[in-house]
Every structure is written in structure tokens, then in C-alpha cells.
Structure 1
Amino acid sequence: MPESVRADVWVWAVRLAKTRTQATDACKAGHVRVRGERAKPSTPVRVGDTVIVRTHERERIVVATKLLLKRVGAAPAAEAYEDHSPPPPKKEHVGAFGVRDRGAGKPTKRERRQLDRLRGRPSR
């Protein structure tokens, strides 16, 4: 068993990133921290290290308990770290908006602009 593993490989192997390329890009962009410091893709991860991975949805804070060189299934990957992440934010249930009755015809210019504003699109 190795003494340390590259940060990008470990993040990918324990399924915190979907692909190795995404893990490498996250390291280069500064979204991965090992032992509190910004990690390059080649930064070594050792057992007991705290790894923080920031994704577009949330921040994952994990402590490495096992080193992996290859990507494994979800269950073995979950055993390779202890998760100390805060719970994910609750998703607000948004009802259907901008729904028109069937057969109501083409929306007017005013209705189309209102729908665009609801959907967060800039009006033309």
C-alpha cells in the first residue's frame, strides 16, 4: 500500500469528482484543499489528511482513512473517507410556472416577456 497518493487521483478514486480530468481541473482552479492549503494535482494525500473539495453545489469536507489508486464502487469509496461535510442545502420545491393552458394559442409579446422574466432570461 502506498504511503501517499496524488490529490487528483484520490479525489477521483473516492468519487468526489466524476472524471480524473475534472479532479485535475478542480485542483488547478483552487477548489481542492489538502491539510488546509490549496492543492496542486500532484499534492500528496496521506491517511488522516483533511481534504476539502468545493463543487458547484456545495463544499465536501472529508478525512482520508484509506488511500486508493483506482476508482472503485460507491460502497468501497465511502469507506475510504470520513465525511464531515455540512448537510446539503434543502432544495426548494418550486411549482410549475409559466405553464399555459392547452389550446390557449401563441403568447402575446407581453406574456412572453413575463415568462422570460420568470425563467430568469433577459428580455430581448
Structure 2
Amino acid sequence: MAEKLRIDKYLWSIRVFKTRSLATEACKAGRVKKDGSNLKPSYEVKIGDEYQVSKGIEKKVLKVIDLLHNRVDAKTAVLYYQDLTPEEETYKFKSMFHAPVLVRDRGAGRPTKKDRRDIDSLKQSDSFWDDED
């Protein structure tokens, strides 16, 4: 007899989603796909299948290595799936957190007109490089 496991429970148990209800909602909202088609929360997971999971701005491609019925720690959970997410997708997500942040010294007061122009030109030059990619 083959083991049966729902996709929402699997995604929760490998720690893709914090709660099972969040995993269920993601399936209902069409953020969990297999070969481009949306999956229902009750979809039966099979070993060797690949799933596309969108979680906010992050997109992952996961391949099922083994079935996991209960939630375990992160180090153990990694053994039950393979992350096939393309590197450029991973770097694109991570680079959002490394964007330059403008900082003014505390107590420096309100920016002058010249300071404001300098800040605006810096912001415009950053967005120029982002548009080329």
C-alpha cells in the first residue's frame, strides 16, 4: 500500500510554510503549481514530483525526495526535498535585502535643498542600474 500525503501537509512539514493553514491558503490561491497547473490542498504528493511554490516575492522549485508526515527541525526537513530554484531567482530575492540605505547623522537636522538634490540624484542613479537588468 502506497503512503498518501496531502500537498498542504507536505509543504508545512518541510517548513516551506509556518502553519498548515497558510499552506492550504497558498494552494487555494493558486501559489502552488505542478507543470503550470494549480494544485488543490488535497492533491496527493508523489516522490520525484516537482512543485513551483510562490511565497510572497520568493519563488521556489522543489522536488520531493521522500514523504514527511510530521513537522521536524529545519536540518532534518532539508533531507526530504531538493531545492531546484534557479540561482538567478534566488539571488534576485536576496539582493532586495542588500539594497543601499541612505543614512543621515542623528541631530543633523532637516536636509538642505542641496542635500535633497544629492539624495534624489543618488536614488535616480540606483534605479537606473536596476532597470537595465
Matched, 1:94 2:94: no
Query: 1:63 Cα deviation (Å)?
Result: 1.2
Query: May I ask how many residue pairs the two structures share in their alignment?
Result: 113
Structure 1: tracts of 5 or more residues without a match: 119-124
Distance 1:75 1:101, change over 3 A: closer
Structure 2: tracts of 5 or more residues without a match: 124-133
User: TM-score by structure 1 length?
Assistant: 0.74
Partner of 2:13: 13
Distance 1:77 1:101, change over 3 A: closer
Taking only the aligned residue pairs, the percentage that are identical comes to 39
User: In the alignment, residue 78 of structure 2 is paired with which amino acid?
Assistant: A
Higher helix share: 2
Partner of 2:31: 31
User: TM-score by structure 2 length?
Assistant: 0.70
Distance 1:84 1:108, change over 3 A: closer
User: In the alignment, residue 66 of structure 1 is paired with which amino acid?
Assistant: D
